Amino acid sequence: MPNRSTDSLFQLIKTLEKSEKRNFKLYATRNSSSEELKTILLFDALDKMDTYDEALLLKKNKAIKKQQLSNLKAHLYKQILSSLRLIDVTNIDVLLHEQMDYARLLYDKGLYHQSLKVLDKVKELARKNNQLTHMQQVLFFEKNIEALYITRSIKDRADKLGQEADEVNSKLDLVSKLSNLSLQLYSWYINNGHCRNKEEELEIKDFFNKKFDINPAACKGFYEKLFLYQSYCWNAFIRQDFLMYYRYTQKWVDLFSDQPQMLAIETAHYIKGMHNLMGAHFNLANHQKLKETLSIFDTFCSSDIVMKSANNRVQCFVYQTISFFNKHFLEGSFTEGLVSVPAIEAQIKEYEIYLDRHRILVFYYKIACLYFGSGNYEKAIDYLNKIINWKVDLRTDLQCYSRLLHLIAHYELGNDEILDHLIKSVYRFMSKLQHLSVVEEEIFKFIRRSFAVSVRNIKPELEKLLVKLKKVEHNRFETRAFVYLDIVSWLESKLENVPVQEVIRKKFKRKVKNV
pLDDT for residue 511 is more than 80: no
Q: Of 4-8, 84-88, 264-268, 313-317, which gets the smallest average pLDDT?
A: 4-8
Give me the pLDDT at residue 392, please.
62
pLDDT in tens, 477-492: 777 777 777 888 888 8
d(CA 438, CA 245) in angstroms, rounded, equals 23
Whole-angstrom distance, CA of residue 218 vs CA of residue 201: 27
Q: What mean pLDDT, rounded, does the chain reach?
A: 86
pLDDT per position as a tens digit, 173-189: 999 999 999 999 988 88
Q: How far apart are alpha carbons 73 and 12 in whole angstroms?
A: 11
Section 203-213 average pLDDT: 88
Are 196 and 434 contacting, i.e. CB atoms less than 8 angstroms apart?
no
Percent of the chain with pLDDT over 90: 43
Answer for the pair 99, 122: CB distance below 8 angstroms, yes or no.
Answer: yes
200: pLDDT confidence band, cut at 50, 70 and 90? Answer: confident
3: confidence class by pLDDT, cuts 50, 70, 90: very low
pTM: 0.83
Helix boundaries (H) for 239-309 = 242-258, 262-265, 267-283, 287-301, 304-307
Cβ density class 167-201: b for 16+ within 10 Å, e for less: ebeebbebbebbbebbeebbebbeeebbbbeeebb
How many whole angstroms from its chain centre is CA 342? 22
CA nearest to 422, candidates 434, 404, 439: 404
Asked whether the predicted pLDDT for residue 48 surpasses 70, the reply is yes
Give the whole-angstrom CA distance, residue 271 versus residue 273.
5
Contact 488, 408 (CB under 8 A): no
pLDDT at 457: 72
Residues 6 or more apart whose Cβ sits within 8 Å of residue 37: none
Report the b/e string of 337-376 with b at 16+ CB within 10 A. Answer: bbeebeebeebbeebeebbeeebbbbbbbbbbbbbbbbbb
142-158: pLDDT as tens digits = 988 888 876 655 667 78
**What would the 3-class secondary structure string for 315-364 be?**
HHHHHHHHHHHHHHHHHCCHHHHHCCHHHHHHHHHHCCCCCCHHHHHHHH
In angstroms, rounded to a whole number, what is the distance separating the alpha carbons of residues 504 and 488? 10
3-state secondary structure 164-219: HHHHHHHHHHHHHHHHHHHHHHHHHHHHHCCCCCHHHHHHHHHHHHHHCCCCHHHC
Q: Between 190 and 139, where is the model more confident? A: 139
For residues 256 and 270, the answer to whether their CB atoms sit within 8 Å is yes
d(CA 18, CA 502): 47
CA-based R_g, the chain, Å: 28
| Domain range annotation of the chain | 8-87, 92-153
Alpha-carbon 319 to chain mean position:
8
SS (H, E, C) 293-306: HHHHHHHHHCCHHH
Compare 6 and 141 and report the one with higher pLDDT.
141
Residues 6+ apart with CB under 8 A from 430: 400, 403, 436, 440, 443, 444, 447
C-beta of residue 368 within 8 angstroms of C-beta of residue 402: yes
Residue 79 carries which DSSP code? H
pLDDT band at 302 (very low <50, low <70, confident <90, very high): very high
Nearest-10 Cα torsion for 182, 188, 191, 192: -140
Residues constituting the chain:
515
CB 251 within 8 A of CB 229: yes
What is the C-alpha separation between 346 and 495, in angstroms, rounded? 38
